[in-house]
Amino acid sequence: MNLFNNEDISSYSFSKLKELMDFYIKNYDNNKKEELLNICNFIKNDPRKNVQSLYNKALKTIEKFEKELERIFKMYSFDRGFSPLNYLAGVDEVGRGPLAGPIVGASVVLNLNNLEYENLILEVNDSKKLTANKRKELDKIIKEKALYYKIVAIDNNTIDTKGIAWCNNEVLKNSALNLEVTPDIILSDGYGIKGLNIKNEFVIKGDSKSISIACASIIAKVYRDNIMEEYAKIYPHYGFEHNAGYGTAEHIEGLKKFGPSPIHRFSFIKNII
């Protein structure tokens, strides 16, 4: 859809102009930048106040997008700083602290050698900073654009038997080592991974700095949230669909009233029940 045909902008009614601008703003990406700037040049001297509001909104859209591009390039550049490499894997885990359900680790290998706009994954960030809907949207994009990815889960029974520290390390290690390729380096969030025979660098707040770690954080989070939503249908008393197994008031109340479910971590709830 391209409503702009370079005719005299003064002939546009406000409603027509708003339709035009709304389309470009809603669907804005790098490929529409030149067209939107062209429209802005036509309307910047328009005396109508409501048109000037559209003009300012368009400029803010462009500015916001440019800042996002800059942020994402910085995250890609961080990972590229470990080159020359063939494959870099970012790994992260989710579910270390909940009272129920598995711990999940994920690894992601991106194409860091092609930073053309179409290859970039915008809006990636620490999964905790994103809405559930945005994570689900990005989960699909990451899996489409990643060269390789792997997700590994360890259940609550193993957490009780082996301990959360061992399981935390194991999901990270196994997600990285069971890829279809052997990475040249593995970036992990916060601390190093034990038992690797591959170079490993840990990055403090890595899910905000490294594009690969952030992508791993997102797909691990979506995977685990989906599991907990399914468990919520089987064990409806704890609000798993809302709290993903974390110790919210609703969850604690359900534990005290109904007792633990088969997916609870008994080593985590022994002081509650």
Distance of CA 126 to the CA centre of its chain: 6
Q: At a CB cut-off of 8 Å and minimum separation 6, what does 179 contact?
A: 89, 107, 109, 148, 149, 150
Which pTM was predicted? Answer: 0.87
CA distance 21 to 127: 31
Domain 88-221 is found in CATH 3.40.50.960 = no
Structure confidence at residue 251 (pLDDT) = 97
Q: Report whether pLDDT(2) > 60.
A: no
Check pLDDT > 80 for residue 30: no
Retrieve residue 1's tokens.
């859809």
pLDDT for 3 = 46
- By CB atoms closer than 10 A (0-12, 13-18, 19+), residue 270 is exposed
pLDDT tens digits for range 199-243: 999 999 999 999 999 999 999 999 999 999 999 999 999 999 999
Pairing of strands 199-203, 103-109: unpaired
183: cis peptide before it, omega within 30°? no
Q: Is the pLDDT of residue 168 over 70?
A: yes
Structure tokens at 100: 């129920």
79 is in an annotated binding site: no
Q: Where exactly are the structural domains of the chain?
A: 9-79, 88-221
**Which tens digits make up the pLDDT trace of 48-99?**
888 888 888 888 888 998 999 999 999 999 999 986 678 999 999 999 999 9
Q: What is the 3-state secondary structure (H, E, C) of the chain?
A: CCCCCCCCHHHCCHHHHHHHHHHHHHCCCHHHHHHHHHHHHHHCCCCCHHHHHHHHHHHHHHHHHHHHHHHHHHHHHHHHCCCCCCCEEEEEEECCCCCECCEEEEEEECCCCCCCHHHCCCCCCCHHHCCHHHHHHHHHHHHHHCCEEEEEEECHHHHHHHCHHHHHHHHHHHHHHCCCCCCCEEEEECCCCCCCCCEEEEECCHHHHCHHHHHHHHHHHHHHHHHHHHHHHHCCCCCHHHHCCCCCHHHHHHHHHHCCCCCECHHHHCCCC
The answer on pLDDT for 106 being more than 90 is yes
Q: Six-digit token pair at 152? A: 């590994």
Query: What pLDDT does 124 receive?
Result: 95
d(CA 219, CA 89): 14
Amino acid at 127: S
Q: For residue range 108-161, list pLDDT tens digits in order.
A: 999 998 888 888 999 999 888 999 999 999 999 999 999 999 999 999 999 999
189 assigned binding-site residue: yes
